[in-house]
Amino acid sequence: MTERQYCSDLSLAAGEPLAGTAARVDVWLLLEYKPVWRSKAVTDNDLPAEVTAWLDRQMASVTDRGLLPRLQFIRQPELDREQIAFFAGTSESLYRAEIDGYGAITDLDIATDLGSPSMPRVEASQYFVCTNGQRDLCCARFGLPAYARLRELVGERAWQTTHVGGHRFAPNVLTLPQGVLYGRVRPENVPGFVEDVEAGRLARDHVRGRSALPAEAQAAEIALDGQMLELVGCEAGQVVIRTEKGERRIRVVEADAMEIIASCGDEATECVRPISAMLEQS
């Protein structure tokens, strides 16, 4: 019998870079959903019709403002509590509502309620680990141990979440309000990873990208010699970022093409072109 190959192991062995691989998302909507997650959980589930319609309206309101939304399901299986959590995360802030049953969520409106008593701001970092093994085996195989280790260190600020994209980079962890997607955060990496995030730093060894940025700027931020304050420009292979040390110019190019297995179970390879970023000398 042929030994099973996992896409995450194959990507790591091939040396596929993480930089610039985060899906573009301006507003994250994360709803606690406790039943079993199916492969495409956010569209294939047993939520009441009125809740699905409410979620659709919230997504549409974000899109109407020219922003890119993404819906995630989240859960903490080891906790038994009656209320349901709902988060909305922007590029700078995170907000949380506690709801007494799904029916009550339709009273919320993220366009007006963010920061209100019904949906106050969350200051402490929250960690969302992709664990949806129904979507890809790597997400459960690698995500669940990473989640368990995070629970040991940050407690109830760690959550399981559905597919965030990039199974082959599992364990994938989204941090909010940092707004950064990380990959290959294995249990032995978790203590150093948490130390960086809690200190307000990028955990550079694991950064896939800040989701509110285009791919080129995601990669460029990792190459910085300081902290990004503002994206000034991003075009023609050059990214300009303002830092506490002044403006920095980063040259961004496509690296050599790689043939990768994008997901467990795939037989055919997929051609990807990783992004390479280099800080230009001032």
pLDDT per residue as tens digits for the range 28-42: 999 999 999 999 999
CA geometry: angle 43, 90, 177, nearest 5 deg: 105
Predicted local distance difference test score (pLDDT) of residue 234? 94
pLDDT of residue 2: 53
Strand order in the sheet with 246-254: 228-235, 238-243, 246-254, 275-279
pLDDT of residue 1: 35
Q: Which residues of the chain fall below pLDDT 50?
A: 1
C-alpha distance from residue 113 to each of 27, 32, 97, 109, 219 (Å): 14, 18, 10, 6, 33
* pLDDT tens per residue across span 260-279: 999 998 989 999 999 999 99
- pLDDT at residue number 4: 78
- The answer to whether 105 and 156 are in contact (CB under 8 A) is no
Distance CA 265, CA 182 (A): 23
Give residue 282's pLDDT: 60
